[in-house]
Amino acid sequence: MVDPVAESLLEYRAQFPALETCVHLISHSLGCVPAQAKADLAEFFEVWQTKSITAWSDWLPEVDRAAERISKIISAPQGTVIMQHNVSQIMATMASCFEYTPERNKVVYEALQFPTVSYVWQAEKRRGADCVLVPSKDGTTIDTDAMCAAIDEKTAVVPISHVVFSSAYIQDVKKI
């Protein structure tokens, strides 16, 4: 029996020429290039070349529109999704908002975060953060009970991923 949803998704496969010769499983770093991208980049370059710095008045509203489309997909309230260059940048922005006091300076995060995320939180030590890294026993999952045990009244923030980037493991965020 053919799954109609899977079959409809297969129609998009032709839009990605590389999929004819390889399997593409890494989309967090470099997505598989769709055939339309070349024409879209040419259009982008044309706008940049002709409008120069004033092109930002066209581009920045597009970033906001993309964020709003994503908010609809994930059922987030309007105006609550923002776009940034990468996870490290948004994590550093967020980390800079905290005041790490002796009463509440603990940062608890898991070992399976995207590698650069750890650097962000380690840098917060100079501002008084006490970083607690919860290890993975198998390199694929994080023990939810171990995460919960590391969190206490001194914990200021628990910056975790809902889905682990390297294994697709889904954490029990609600319990944590």
Could you report the per-residue pLDDT of 112-134, keeping only the tens digit for each?
A: 998 899 999 999 999 999 999 99
Average pLDDT of the chain is 92
* 10-32 residue pLDDT tens: 888 899 999 999 888 776 677 88
- Listed in sequence order, the DSSP H helices in the chain are 4-10, 37-51, 56-73, 87-95, 115-123, 144-150
0.85 exceeded by pTM: no
Which structure tokens are listed for 55?
A: 């092109």
What integer pLDDT is reported at residue 27 of this predicted model? Answer: 67
Q: Would strands 155-157 and 106-110 be described as parallel, antiparallel, or unpaired?
A: parallel
